[in-house]
Amino acid sequence: MNKFISHESAVKHVTGESVYVDDIPVDERLLTGHVVYSNHAHARIKSFDLTAAKKLPGVHAVLCFKDIPGENQMGPVIRDEPCLAEKEVNFIGQAIFLIAGESEEICRQAEQKIKINYEVQPTILTIDESIKAKNLLGPERKINCGNIEIALKECDQVIIGEFNTGAQEHWYLETQACLCLPGEKNEIMAFSSTQHPTETQTLIAEVLGILRNEVVVEVRRMGGAFGGKETQANHTACWAALLCQATGQPVKIRLFRDDDQKMTGKRHPFLIKYKAGFSNQGILSALKFELNSNGGAVADLSFAIMERAMFHVDNAYYIPNLSVIGKVWKTNLPPNTALRGFGAPQAIVAIENIIDRIARVLNRDAATIRKNNFYGIKTRNKSHYGQEVERNHLHTLYNKITRSSQYWKRRSDINQFNKEHNFIKKGIALSPVKFGISFTTSFLNQAGALVHIYQDGSVLVNHGGTEMGQGLHTKILQIAAAEFGVSPDRIKISATNTSKVPNTSATAASTGSDLNGMAVKNAIDTIKNRLAGFVSAQFQKENKLKVVNPKQILFKDNFIIHKDLPKLRVSFDEVVKSAYLAQISMSATGYYRTPHLNWDKEIGSGRPFNYYAFGMAVSEVMLDVLTGYHKILRTDILHDVGDSINPHIDIGQIQGGFIQGLGWCTTEECKWDKEGHLLNHSPDTYKIPAVSDIPEDFRVELLQNKPNPNAIRKSKAVGEPPLMLAISVWLAIKDAISAIFDHKKEPILPVPATNENILLSIKNLRQ
């Protein structure tokens, strides 16, 4: 396989030719869709008047919940989310009315003419407020192993604490967007920037009250998604579809940046309470966690996210007695949702903070404590939910990265530096990640594909996965080329389309290439079997051989070849032509489901993951004690992607994921005022990492020679796991703060470690 091809859209990207939803040419009948949303976090809608807005010239429709022909519902899992608010609004940014007009300006004028009479209700915004009000979004969940209470009593030392992590905005460059075109009668065609075309199709059908076979959803590519378009792209799509159906004209909604940030959910803020028991040697024996997340006003994916958080409180460590409770709290904020890592980052930073604390209590280096607690290879290798940690690369990674990063030498250099400097301190930290790959809702682990060969020998591959920049289509293209034994330029990956491949899962949970790659391979195998049968019969006939077994037929270098008699070869193109004449089908569907998964929510045990991905990072920072500024001097990453299908793409995912995690750990901060207005609703005040924020010296390597037997072409998923390696930076900052006090005091530092939070943390330690 050619592993080193460029992103299949690279040339289109750099020339501006790649088409996103807002770039699709539409005729002059196109209307602009506009969403009128609540400006109150919690209020009753006593009355409203749309008359004046409807009368405004250029306005084609003004819709409220009463105008929804189908079901007023767009919750993806739990059906608790109205498409348009009825009697009550529960967060600022909740959609109430929809306007279709001839221009953006007309829509805004119409919005000014809408009168709403609210009765403002008390709001709950934070986890603490929600806990006080006992405002759970749903039942709490538990996973237990061993005997936590006894273990806590029997261990040498116990630490207790609380830990906060903040919200994170996805900040996909392309905001939520959908263009709907009306077809015949009920038909609707939606070009949506969605990670989950099937769910978008489902919800459009439901709100419109039509069958799913009337709705086609197509996704060429997204301008970034990161989980933010897993469920919440559905909203924009449903709204555009309603307006399209109501007006009979094409309608496009593209959210403005500020509206997008205000209306859509974020990474869940967590409040984590813990009790950890360990030996004087620093071996963890007991961990008791209470995970509290701010779910927002409705469920969205909060429970699945909490579940993944609960699965990852161990991160890389064997903890024989572990109890974790997960509680999702309801608040008057937009529903928080999937974001790369899906609950795992919050859980992992919590356990890493605990290890860091233990190291400080014992006056040992945290890297050693980490290593001593890693899952074992043959013993100490069962997770708290009962899954064995197979093919554990943690020890290999640790040995390699401590060497390649010269961790111990740098640690002592840093200690020396810190002795000599008062206002500048350095810090270093190593952090691992072990990330479970699979949707934890087991049935979602399925995928479909549809592959055609045309008579000129070109191949069109359709699959259920969506392209959001992660290079899925490129990898699929490589897989298809390798399976067919043809050059990649023969293959085209079509836009993802629900009429080509139905009933798909979201492109999420890092499973895109695992699931769809297998489904595509399955379709190709079907076609290859037909062609191999046809070719072997031909070889037999033309060469008067006794028997040619189709299994002896190879697809290689644009030829179809007899394995044992390589002189018997015929070009792929010729075979295609003659197979068509011989009335052989060159189109097939493919399907895949991940085998051997089982997970029993009720008893909290099973095998939820197909395999684990591992990675490790060492980061060094320099902190200006007076301003809280920090510079990442160097980051080393060694990451496990199995046999990489495309090393450039995988390294890109690692670098990009790390930097996105860095934003969550350092500069990205969401604040709300007392009324529930998001204060950081644009990049003016919401700061994702810029070019100068990346490590000065950034070394990323892939772990070599560790094939993964459980996935396509022995590869591993890579989308989410590297994000959590950025925790090494957060820990290094903490180490630098701790150095001010000669590592004798435990810094209390939340995520994100903004320079403000760093200064406050230092101030608290001084007092």
Partner 1 sequence: MHRAPTHNALCAFSPIPILQFGQININPYFPVRSMKQVISMSTKISFVLDGKIASIDFNREKRYTPTTTVLNYLRSLPNHKGTKEGCAEGDCGACTVVLGELGHDRKIHYKAVDSCLVFLPMLHGKQLITIENLKSPDDTLHPVQQAMVDTHGSQCGFCTPGVVMSLFALYKSAIKPTRLNIEEALSGNLCRCTGYVPIIEAAEKACVKKKKDHFSGNEKTVSKLLQKIKRNSLSLKTGNQNYFCPKSVNESLQLRKKYPNTLIICGATDIALRVTKNYEKLPEIIDLSFISALQGISHKKNSTEIMAGTTLSEIKRYANNRFLALHKMLTVFGSDQIRNLATIGGNIATASPIGDIAPLLMAYHAKIVLVSKKKKRRLAIEDFITGYRKTACRKNELISAVIIPHPKKDTQIKFYKFSKRKDLDISTVSGGFYLELAKENKVKSIKLAFGGMALFTRRAYKTEKFLEGFEWSFKKVEQAGTILEKEFRPISDARAGAEGRILAAQNLLLKFWSETRVD
Residue numbers annotated as active site: 720
The set of residues, in sequence order, having a beta carbon less than 8 Å from that of 691 and lying 6+ positions away, is: none
Cβ–Cβ under 8 Å, residues 496 and 516: no
The token pair at 500 is: 């080509």
Q: Is 197 in the site for partner 1 (CB under 8 A)?
A: no
The token pair at 517 is: 């790659």
Q: Closer to partner 1 at the Cβ: 249 or 466?
A: 466
CB of 261 to partner 1, least distance (A): 10
Strands 115-120 and 88-89, sheet pairing: unpaired
CB of 315 to partner 1, least distance (A): 22
Interface stretch with partner 1, choices 147-155, 290-298, 584-592, 623-631 (CB under 8 A): 623-631
Q: Closer to partner 1 at the Cβ: 24 or 52?
A: 24
**Rounded distance between C-alpha atoms, residue 167 and residue 668, angstroms:** 8
DSSP codes, 536-588: HHHHHHHTT-S---GGGEEEETTEEEESS-TT-EEEHHHHHHHHHHTT---EE
Cβ–Cβ under 8 Å, residues 342 and 304: yes
Interface stretch with partner 1, choices 56-64, 501-509, 702-710, 756-764 (CB under 8 A): 756-764
Which listed residue (171, 311, 385, 484) binds partner 1 by CB under 8 A? 171
Interface stretch with partner 1, choices 28-36, 159-167, 530-538, 619-627 (CB under 8 A): 619-627
Cis peptide leading into 722, omega within 30 of 0? no
The helix/strand/coil state of 59 is: strand
| Residues 511-540 contacting partner 1, CB under 8 A | none
CB of 754 to partner 1, least distance (A): 6
Which listed residue (465, 628, 719, 750) binds partner 1 by CB under 8 A? 628
The token pair at 446 is: 């399925």
CA atoms within 13 A on the CB side of 709: 2
Which listed residue (2, 10, 248, 600) binds partner 1 by CB under 8 A? 10
Which listed residue (70, 341, 436, 469) binds partner 1 by CB under 8 A? 469
| Residues 385-424 contacting partner 1, CB under 8 A | 423
| Residues 256-275 contacting partner 1, CB under 8 A | 256-258
Edge-to-edge strand order for the sheet containing 459-463?
A: 491-493, 459-463, 446-453, 587-593
Interface stretch with partner 1, choices 19-27, 39-47, 304-312, 593-601 (CB under 8 A): 19-27
Which listed residue (121, 135, 499, 755) binds partner 1 by CB under 8 A? 755
Interface stretch with partner 1, choices 87-95, 215-223, 451-459, 571-579 (CB under 8 A): 215-223
CB of 757 to partner 1, least distance (A): 8
| Residues 546-605 contacting partner 1, CB under 8 A | none
Taking the CB of residue 693, how many other CB atoms lie within 10 A of it?
A: 16
CB of 447 to partner 1, least distance (A): 21
| Residues 98-127 contacting partner 1, CB under 8 A | 105, 108
**Rounded distance between C-alpha atoms, residue 418 and residue 739, angstroms:** 7
Binding mask 50-89 for partner 1 (x = CB under 8 A): ----------------------------------------
| Residues 649-688 contacting partner 1, CB under 8 A | 649, 652, 655-660, 667, 669, 671, 679-680, 682-685, 687-688
| Residues 699-738 contacting partner 1, CB under 8 A | 700
The helix/strand/coil state of 162 is: strand
Which listed residue (41, 167, 459, 468) binds partner 1 by CB under 8 A? 468
CB of 220 to partner 1, least distance (A): 11
Q: Is 690 in the site for partner 1 (CB under 8 A)?
A: yes
Cβ–Cβ under 8 Å, residues 493 and 463: yes
Binding mask 124-163 for partner 1 (x = CB under 8 A): ----------------------------------------
Q: Is 489 in the site for partner 1 (CB under 8 A)?
A: no
Taking the CB of residue 20, how many other CB atoms lie within 10 A of it?
A: 16
Quote the strand ranges of 73-156, DSSP E: 88-89, 95-101, 115-120, 141-145
Residues in the chain: 767
CA 257-261-267 angle, to 5 degrees, is 140
Q: Closer to partner 1 at the Cβ: 15 or 379?
A: 15
Quote the strand ranges of 214-320, DSSP E: 215-219, 251-254, 270-278, 284-296
